[in-house]
């Protein structure tokens, strides 16, 4: 059986849980689904930009992992600007730590 890849909404819900972690590649795919693009990178720092957001998002890829505060920063931007993922239905985003959106 081929393992299915989680939808972007499922990744977002997973990331929004308290204490959540994502692998860097999952997180990068999530950012790209929400319209971010990798603008520059060096050994540790990857700078993502979004056409609707003036803020830069600095993400560190350390051994395939990212720091929890960077995950929270990205989620805060997604919620603040009410971004939608490319594969997402028109449903409101759950707030970070809100369990009500988990079964939606």
pLDDT in tens, 84-94: 887 655 555 55
What is the pLDDT, as a whole number, of residue 37? 97
**Where exactly are the structural domains of the chain?**
8-83
The tokens for 89 are: 């239905």
> pTM of the predicted model, to two decimals?
0.74
CA atoms of 102 and 97, how far apart (whole Å): 10
Helix (H, G, I), strand (E, B) or coil at 60: strand
pLDDT at 101: 44
Alpha-carbon Rg of the chain, whole angstroms?
13
Residues 67-80 have a mean pLDDT of: 91
Please answer whether residues 56 and 93 qualify as being in contact, where contact means their C-beta atoms are separated by less than 8 angstroms.
Answer: no
Q: Is the pLDDT of residue 95 over 70?
A: no
pLDDT reported for residue 87: 64
DSSP 96: T
**Is 77 within 8 Å of 55 (Cβ atoms)?**
yes
Counting DSSP H helices and E strands in the chain, the numbers are 3, 3
Asked whether the predicted pLDDT for residue 100 surpasses 50, the reply is: no
Say which CATH class 8-83 falls into: alpha beta
* Range 39-59 average pLDDT: 93
- More reliable by pLDDT, 17 or 38: 38
> Residue 61: pLDDT above 60?
yes
Backbone dihedral angles phi then psi of residue 94, each to the nearest 5 degrees: -75, 150
């Amino acid at each position: 059986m081929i393992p299915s890849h989680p939808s972007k909404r499922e990744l977002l819900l997973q990331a929004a849980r308290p204490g959540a972690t994502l692998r860097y590649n999952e997180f990068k795919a999530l950012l790209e689904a929400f319209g971010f693009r990798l603008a520059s990178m060096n050994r540790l720092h990857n700078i993502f930009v979004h056409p609707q957001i003036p803020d830069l998002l600095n993400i560190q890829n350390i051994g395939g992992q990212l720091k929890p505060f960077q995950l929270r920063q990205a989620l805060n931007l997604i919620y603040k600007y009410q971004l939608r993922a490319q594969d997402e239905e028109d449903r409101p985003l759950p707030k970070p730590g809100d369990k009500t959106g988990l079964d939606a």
